[in-house]
């Protein structure tokens, strides 16, 4: 009976995975298509990869997407981690209020957050551009950092900070020596989440980039003439990078799955 | 003995909850002081106030006659052994013990010393009468700072002198080579005395090894702390605190998580360390046996107030009130009337005793320690009853004798069967009279 | 030793002494109030004020009335919600069994499967949506623009958000509970109904929340797979970008937020079960 179940569930899982990866295969496949069509195969070619690197527009969008994502990640991780540490030392009422407020941008539909920020920047007469986009990204990434790091900080032994201070560390050094080593993993996870949220973002970027800012998502959305296969090439490269990163990470952390 | 720490009317409230109601305490150098009391009595809070982790709501805390309340925890000359050890999980045993030394690393030290020096000199400069004195002081200050920043500076000057000597040697002299060599060897010898990071690191390592040996953990330097047993972790915590040679060591129920045998061993070791190192220990526990074993002075606390302070023997033999009597050792507590000095009455019988100073006919509490009572044939004393229960405790039997009015708990090495009719006897010195609590 | 004025100044000094770590949170509090709270307040302000005669602002509900009066807009809102609900249900019917089956595998297999399901999330959502457009173009271009295409796209994008929380909760159920149930006579089906299902409710509700909200407000999928169909997200976008009618857009956003808040509160009320977690030895 168990074997029977295993087979059925296995088939189900396989079908779902098929569904999940079909478009991805299609993307990758057609990135090597010799002709421009996205539906008929015309032979193997690297043409679109060449086009990709020659297209100043796309490259510009890619570069800016990275710049914003990296900056937003660094800033939101720093602000969020310090906030998580500071919060854990605060009174319960204040903590709860802040945590609940922190959840607002997470629960709110992106479009609401987006137009809120748009209204803010407009009222301050701020020109829409990369600056406002960066602020917006920091604004929506930091809450994710906090919900990732804060639970870990809360679970730490409070006497460790006291022990560090007792042994002569100033409060800041105590955080560095006693807290950071223990929350390193959570911080990395938070950085990964923040980077992904920023890199992938569309709605909020779209509303806060003004007329000058762009990123990959905005570029795609505002294409007038339909999607060129260069996009497939870009996607394939992105998929490749993601695959490498994920595989590396998996190999490095493999041992935790062996002991159960 | 010199007074080291003083608490004056220290109170502490956490919101509505008043934890300390006015603590006055004096602690002397080289004392082993135990704060003893039940959970919630405020002993740990008191300890943490001394350590700087908690600020009192009011009152003063003095160290060597100086108020230390404004000094943050990391600057106080105290070190703490935490109840759950608080070892840094990401560091091995060596680095845990070395932590305090690394915190007071060279760079940090230089900064602290430079600032202190500048402060001291600034006062002198301000007091200087004329500008030449001021200039002189400023030059002196800079020289001292240079010395702090580079402790090898004197040695370097010596080397420069020797190098100059080499230059001025007469080359035509046949002894030239030997002279030059001699001088060069002198230079090498001086360089060996240089204070370098390597030298400092060796010093640190030697010190860590010394303290690990002191707590019997030689060979454990590179172990991970979570692989150690409770007793071993405890000893790492102790070494980590002691290596900083604090004036005062604060210990917060450090042996609570250990089993009995280990606890007893550690009690002995701790007492030895305290005696050898000549440090003041302030120890918190709820275990009265522990307190009696290790302390020079016991401070019995309850509900935020100090009940009694004294040597272990004094507290045991002359508890000041029922709480202390009940908390330390076992006791039979009987309500009676102090008829007059040296005479007390209970259960209708007057007994001569050794206490005095109470009001005539004052209602008092009387303590009779079980080990002071004897079981004698019935009728020999006015206290007669029946053996109600017998329990073997290893060292003695614990026998409850039930009389008309109460049950007496007696510790005796002689077995008595249940139901036997007996009497209870004691000496007049065993009657201890206390004020009603 | 210290009496009088020195003593009081010591006490005053102590009152001013601030705990060192409160400063750490300040950058965040600034960010929170300026970039999160104020924008929300601004939305409310814009939604209820209108500029009269070029200069002075007046409180008004005109935008809200406008919205409810225009049938199309109410229909758009209703459509968006209906599509989102259908997406959520489908995600649930696929996601729950998927999560459940994954938990039955070896730990290392579980890790790989979870990775496989979530890895696509790292690829830009627009790109993934465009990929589906390409597939539809290949298979049957007439499907583009239908509800079917939109739902397929939404399920594709949001499925991981349903699977992950359910998987997390299911994997944390103490396996001893299954043994206890069997010991007390529960068949596999009964165990599932009485033990697994109730304990996984919080994960299900989490998943529903994480799918319903974005599905109801997405701008991207209706555009590519719906042939620029106007759903609520697009509507708000139009009001802001095309007509510059920010008050109106803000009002729509508020209506949307309120509806969603109600749904979130509703699901939170349902989640009364505390998770039973496996005892994890450090």
Angle of CA points C228, C230, C231, to nearest 5°: 125
Q: Show which subunits contact B, needing at least 3 CB pairs below 8 angstroms.
A: A, C
Confidence (pLDDT) at B392: 94
Backbone phi, then psi, for B224, in 5-degree steps?
Answer: -80, 145
| Three-state SS at B238 | helix
Using the structure block, give the residue that is written with the tokens 């990369």: A130
Cβ-Cβ contacts under 8 Å, A85 against chain C:
21, 24
Same domain as C219, residue C134? yes
d(CA C42, CA C183): 59
d(CA A160, CA C201): 37
Same domain as C204, residue C176? yes
Q: Is B429 exposed, middle or buried (CB count within 10 Å of its CB: 0-12, 13-18, 19+)?
A: exposed
Confidence (pLDDT) at B32: 96
Q: Choose the final residue of a domain: C40, C60, C80.
A: C60
pLDDT band at C4 (very low <50, low <70, confident <90, very high): very low
Query: Do the chains contact at B72 and A169, CB–CB below 8 Å?
Result: no
Q: Show which subunits contact C, needing at least 3 CB pairs below 8 angstroms.
A: A, B
Q: What is the DSSP letter of A179?
A: I
d(CA B333, CA B396): 21
Same domain as C76, residue C198? yes
Q: Determine, yes or no, domain membership for C16.
A: no
Q: What is the DSSP letter of B169?
A: S
Confidence (pLDDT) at B207: 94
Cβ-Cβ contacts under 8 Å, A157 against chain B:
84, 86
d(CA B113, CA B136): 20
B224 touches chain C (CB under 8 A): no
Confidence (pLDDT) at A256: 66
Confidence (pLDDT) at C281: 30
Confidence (pLDDT) at A29: 85
Q: Choose the final residue of a domain: C30, C60, C90.
A: C60
Q: How far is B52 from chain C (nearest CA, A)?
A: 12
Q: Which of B73, B86, B244 is opposite residue A157, by nearest beta carbon? A: B86
Task: Find the domain containing A190 and state its range.
Answer: 57-229
How many contacts, defined by CB atoms under 8 Å, are there between B and C? Answer: 16
Q: Which CATH architecture best describes the domain B1-77+246-329?
A: 3-Layer(aba) Sandwich (3.40)
Same domain as C55, residue C96? no
Judged against a pLDDT cut of 50, whether residue C279 lies above it is answered with no
Confidence (pLDDT) at C8: 42
Q: How far is C114 from chain B (nearest CA, A)?
A: 29
Confidence (pLDDT) at A5: 74
Same domain as C180, residue C51? no
Other CB atoms within 10 A of residue B331 CB: 21
Q: Determine, yes or no, domain membership for A35.
A: no
Same domain as C238, residue C196? yes
Segments in B11-92 forming alpha helices (H): 43-51
d(CA B410, CA B396): 10
C-alpha separations of B37 from A53, B284, B307 in Å: 76, 8, 9
Query: Do the chains contact at A168 and B78, CB–CB below 8 Å?
Result: no
Cβ-Cβ contacts under 8 Å, B104 against chain A:
168
Confidence (pLDDT) at C142: 82
B226 touches chain A (CB under 8 A): no
Give C77-80's long-range contacts (Cβ < 8 A, gap of 24+). Answer: C77/C232, C77/C255, C77/C256, C77/C259, C79/C231, C80/C216, C80/C217, C80/C231, C80/C232, C80/C233
What average pLDDT does range B144-169 have in this prediction?
Answer: 81
pLDDT band at C55 (very low <50, low <70, confident <90, very high): low
Judged against a pLDDT cut of 60, whether residue A1 lies above it is answered with no
C-alpha separations of B172 from A59, B177, C73, C211 in Å: 77, 10, 110, 96
Q: How far is A101 from chain B (nearest CA, A)?
A: 26
| Per-residue buried b or exposed e for B339-370, using 16+ beta carbons within 10 Å of the residue's own CB | eeeeebbbeeeebebebeebeeeeebbbbbbb
Cβ-Cβ contacts under 8 Å, C20 against chain B:
72
CB C158 within 8 A of CB C89: no
Judged against a pLDDT cut of 60, whether residue C5 lies above it is answered with no
Q: Determine, yes or no, domain membership for A33.
A: no
Q: Determine, yes or no, domain membership for A50.
A: no
Same domain as C110, residue C52? no
Nearest Cα to Cα of residue A146 among A197, A96, A79: A79
CB B364 within 8 A of CB B358: yes
Same domain as C138, residue C117? yes
Same domain as C154, residue C36? no
Q: Sign of the C-alpha dihedral, residues B85, B88, B89, B95? A: negative
pLDDT band at A257 (very low <50, low <70, confident <90, very high): low
- Total of domains in chain A: 1
Other CB atoms within 10 A of residue B85 CB: 23
Judged against a pLDDT cut of 70, whether residue B96 lies above it is answered with yes
d(CA A161, CA A178): 6
What average pLDDT does range B302-321 have in this prediction?
Answer: 92
B240 touches chain A (CB under 8 A): yes
Interface of A with B (CB under 8 A): 157, 159-160, 162-171, 173-174, 177-178, 181-182
Q: Is C83 exposed, middle or buried (CB count within 10 Å of its CB: 0-12, 13-18, 19+)?
A: buried
Residue of B nearest to C282 (CA): B226
Q: Determine, yes or no, domain membership for A109.
A: yes
- DSSP letters of C127-148? HHHHHHHHHHHHH-GGGTTSHH
d(CA B74, CA A167): 6
Q: How far is A90 from chain C (nearest CA, A)?
A: 7
The per-residue pLDDT for range C198-233, each reduced to its tens digit, is 888 888 888 888 898 888 888 888 888 887 777 888
What average pLDDT does range C148-165 have in this prediction?
Answer: 92
Judged against a pLDDT cut of 80, whether residue B7 lies above it is answered with yes
Tokens read off for B266: 């550690």
| Three-state SS at B406 | coil
Judged against a pLDDT cut of 90, whether residue A32 lies above it is answered with no
- The region of weakest confidence among B108-122, C45-59, C78-92, C115-129 is C45-59
What average pLDDT does range A188-206 have in this prediction?
Answer: 91
Judged against a pLDDT cut of 70, whether residue C101 lies above it is answered with yes
Mutate to test the interface with B, among A166, A169, A173, A186 (most CBs of B within 10 A): A166
- The region of weakest confidence among A16-20, A83-87, B183-187, C115-119 is B183-187
Other CB atoms within 10 A of residue A239 CB: 19
Q: What is the DSSP letter of C20?
A: G
Query: Do the chains contact at A38 and C137, CB–CB below 8 Å?
Result: yes
Query: Do the chains contact at A169 and B74, CB–CB below 8 Å?
Result: yes
Cβ-Cβ contacts under 8 Å, C17 against chain B:
55, 70
Same domain as C215, residue C98? yes
- Total of domains in chain C: 2
Q: Which of C1, C13, C282 is opposite residue B70, by nearest beta carbon? A: C13
d(CA C212, CA C232): 13
Residue of B nearest to A160 (CA): B86
Query: Do the chains contact at B103 and A162, CB–CB below 8 Å?
Result: no
Query: Do the chains contact at A23 and C131, CB–CB below 8 Å?
Result: yes
Kindly state which CATH superfamily the domain B330-435 is placed in.
Nucleic acid-binding proteins (2.40.50.140)
Q: How many CA atoms lie within 13 A of B171 on its CB side?
A: 1
Q: Determine, yes or no, domain membership for A17.
A: no
d(CA C86, CA C215): 10
Give me the percent of chain C exceeding a pLDDT of 90.
Answer: 16
Other CB atoms within 10 A of residue B394 CB: 5
What average pLDDT does range B105-121 have in this prediction?
Answer: 78
Confidence (pLDDT) at C11: 44
Query: Do the chains contact at B69 and C282, CB–CB below 8 Å?
Result: no
Predicted ipTM > 0.85: no
Confidence (pLDDT) at A67: 95
Residue range(s) in chain B whose domain bears CATH number 3.40.50.300: 1-77+246-329
- DSSP letters of C30-44? HHIIIIIIHHHHHHH
- The region of weakest confidence among B102-111, B286-295, C187-196 is B102-111
Tokens read off for C49: 């004020």
d(CA A136, CA A198): 10
Confidence (pLDDT) at A239: 87
Confidence (pLDDT) at C3: 40
Task: Find the domain containing C240 and state its range.
Answer: 71-270
Q: Which of A17, A82, A258 is opposite residue C28, by nearest beta carbon? A: A82
C-alpha separations of A114 from A119, C210, C257, C276 in Å: 9, 18, 13, 37
CB A168 within 8 A of CB A213: no
> Please, which residues have CB within 8 angstroms of residue A150's CB and are 6 or more apart in sequence?
A84, A87, A88, A99
Tokens read off for A109: 């539909």
Segments in chain A forming alpha helices (H): 2-31, 47-54, 56-88, 92-107, 110-123, 130-154, 159-166, 171-174, 180-200, 203-208, 216-221, 230-252
Q: Determine, yes or no, domain membership for A26.
A: no
Q: How many residues does chain C have?
A: 282
Using the structure block, give the residue that is written with the tokens 């010898």: B189
Query: Do the chains contact at A167 and B244, CB–CB below 8 Å?
Result: yes
Tokens read off for C182: 């069997």
Q: How far is A134 from chain C (nearest CA, A)?
A: 12
Give B41-44's long-range contacts (Cβ < 8 A, gap of 24+). Answer: B41/B301, B41/B302, B41/B303, B41/B304, B42/B12, B42/B301, B42/B303, B42/B304, B42/B305, B43/B284, B43/B286, B43/B299, B43/B301, B44/B252, B44/B253, B44/B284
Same domain as C105, residue C37? no
Judged against a pLDDT cut of 50, whether residue A192 lies above it is answered with yes
Residue of C nearest to B68 (CA): C10
CB B433 within 8 A of CB B358: yes
Same domain as C109, residue C231? yes
d(CA B318, CA A120): 75
Q: Which of C14, C20, C282 is opposite residue B69, by nearest beta carbon? A: C14
Nearest Cα to Cα of residue C39 among A121, A75, A76: A121
Query: Do the chains contact at A157 and B99, CB–CB below 8 Å?
Result: no
Judged against a pLDDT cut of 50, whether residue C125 lies above it is answered with yes
């Amino acid at each position: 009976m168990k074997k029977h179940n295993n087979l059925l569930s296995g088939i189900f899982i396989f079908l779902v995975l098929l569904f999940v990866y079909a478009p991805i295969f299609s993307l990758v496949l057609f990135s090597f298509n010799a002709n421009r069509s996205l539906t008929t195969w015309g032979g193997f070619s690297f043409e679109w990869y060449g086009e990709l690197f020659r297209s100043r527009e796309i490259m510009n969008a890619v570069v800016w997407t990275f710049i914003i994502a990296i900056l937003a990640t660094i800033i939101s991780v720093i602000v969020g981690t310090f906030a998580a540490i500071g919060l854990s030392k605060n009174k319960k009422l204040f903590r709860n209020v802040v945590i609940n407020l922190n959840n607002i941008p997470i629960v709110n539909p992106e479009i609401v957050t987006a137009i809120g920020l748009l209204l803010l920047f407009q009222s301050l007469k701020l020109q829409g551009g990369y600056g406002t986009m960066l602020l917006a990204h920091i604004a929506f990434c930091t809450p994710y950092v906090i919900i990732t790091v804060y639970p870990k900080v809360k679970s730490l032994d409070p006497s460790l900070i006291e022990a560090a201070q007792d042994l002569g560390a100033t409060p800041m050094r105590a955080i560095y020596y006693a807290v950071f080593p223990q929350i390193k993993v959570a911080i990395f996870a938070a950085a990964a989440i923040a980077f992904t949220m920023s890199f992938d973002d569309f709605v909020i970027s779209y509303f806060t980039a003004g007329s000058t800012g762009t990123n990959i998502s905005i570029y795609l959305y505002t294409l007038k003439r339909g999607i060129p296969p260069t996009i497939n090439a870009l996607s394939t490269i992105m998929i490749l990078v993601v695959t490498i990163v994920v595989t590396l990470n998996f190999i490095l952390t493999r041992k935790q799955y062996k002991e159960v | 003995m010199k007074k080291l720490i003083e608490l004056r009317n220290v109170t502490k409230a956490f919101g509505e909850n008043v934890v300390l109601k006015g603590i006055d305490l004096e602690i002397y150098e080289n004392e082993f002081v135990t704060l003893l009391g039940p959970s919630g009595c405020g002993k740990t809070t008191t300890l943490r106030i001394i350590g700087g982790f908690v600020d009192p709501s009011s009152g003063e805390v003095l160290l060597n006659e100086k108020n230390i309340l404004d000094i943050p925890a990391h600057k106080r000359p105290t070190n703490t052994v935490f109840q759950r050890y608080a070892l840094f999980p990401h560091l091995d045993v060596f680095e845990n013990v070395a932590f305090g030394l690394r915190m007071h690393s060279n760079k940090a030290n230089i900064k602290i010393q430079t600032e202190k020096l500048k402060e001291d000199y600034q006062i002198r400069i301000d007091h200087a009468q004329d500008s030449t004195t001021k200039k002189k002081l400023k030059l002196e200050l800079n020289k001292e700072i240079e010395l702090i920043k580079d402790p090898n500076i004197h040695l370097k000057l010596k080397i420069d002198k020797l190098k100059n000597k080499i230059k001025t040697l007469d080359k035509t002299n046949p002894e030239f080579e030997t002279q030059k060599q001699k001088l060069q060897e002198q230079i090498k010898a001086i360089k060996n005395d240089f204070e370098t990071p390597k030298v400092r690191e060796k010093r640190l390592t030697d010190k860590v090894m010394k303290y690990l040996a002191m707590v019997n953990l030689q060979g454990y330097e590179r172990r991970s702390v979570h692989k150690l047993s409770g007793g071993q972790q405890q000893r790492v915590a102790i070494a980590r605190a002691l290596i900083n040679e604090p004036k005062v060591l604060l210990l917060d129920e450090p042996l609570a998580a250990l089993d009995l045998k280990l606890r007893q061993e550690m009690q002995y070791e701790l007492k030895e360390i305290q005696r050898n190192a000549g440090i003041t220990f302030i120890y918190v526990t709820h275990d009265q046996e522990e307190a009696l074993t290790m302390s020079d002075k016991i401070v019995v606390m309850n509900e935020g107030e100090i009940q009694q302070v004294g040597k272990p023997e004094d507290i045991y033999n002359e508890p000041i009130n029922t709480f202390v009597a009940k908390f330390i050792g076992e006791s039979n507590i009987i309500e009676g009337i102090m008829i007059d000095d040296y005479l007390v009455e209970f259960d209708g019988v007057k007994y001569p005793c050794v206490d005095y100073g109470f009001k005539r006919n004052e209602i008092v509490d009387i303590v009779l320690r079980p080990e002071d009572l004897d079981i004698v044939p019935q009728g020999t004393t006015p206290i007669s009853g029946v053996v109600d229960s017998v329990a073997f405790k290893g060292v003695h039997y614990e026998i409850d004798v039930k009389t008309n009015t109460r049950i007496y708990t007696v510790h005796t090495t002689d077995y008595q069967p249940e139901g036997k009719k007996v009497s209870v006897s004691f000496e007049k010195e065993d009657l201890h009279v206390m004020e009603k609590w | 030793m210290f009496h009088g004025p020195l003593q009081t100044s010591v006490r005053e000094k102590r009152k001013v002494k601030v705990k060192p770590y409160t400063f750490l949170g300040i950058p965040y509090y600034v960010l929170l109030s300026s970039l999160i709270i104020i924008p929300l307040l601004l939305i409310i302000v814009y939604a209820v004020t209108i500029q009269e005669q070029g200069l002075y602002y007046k409180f008004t509900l005109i935008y809200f009335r406008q919205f409810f009066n225009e049938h199309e807009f109410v229909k758009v809102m209703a459509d968006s919600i209906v599509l989102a609900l259908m997406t959520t249900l489908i995600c649930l019917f696929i996601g729950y069994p998927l999560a459940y089956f994954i938990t039955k595998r070896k730990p290392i297999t579980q890790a790989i499967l979870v990775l496989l399901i979530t890895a696509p999330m790292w690829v830009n959502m627009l790109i993934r949506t465009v990929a589906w457009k390409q597939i539809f173009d290949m298979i049957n271009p007439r499907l583009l623009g239908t509800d079917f295409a939109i739902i397929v796209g939404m399920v594709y994008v949001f499925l991981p958000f349903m699977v992950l929380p359910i998987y997390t909760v299911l994997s944390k159920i103490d396996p001893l509970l299954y043994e206890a149930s069997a010991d007390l006579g529960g068949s596999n089906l009964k165990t599932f109904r009485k033990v697994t299902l109730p304990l996984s409710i919080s994960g299900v509700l989490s998943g529903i929340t994480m799918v319903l909200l974005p599905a109801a407000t997405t701008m991207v999928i209706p555009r590519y797979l719906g042939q620029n169909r106007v759903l609520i997200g697009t509507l708000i976008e139009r009001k802001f970008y095309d007509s510059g009618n920010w008050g109106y857009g803000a009002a729509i956003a508020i209506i949307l937020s309120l509806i969603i808040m109600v749904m979130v509160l509703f699901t939170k009320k349902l989640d009364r079960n505390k998770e039973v977690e496996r005892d994890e030895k450090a």
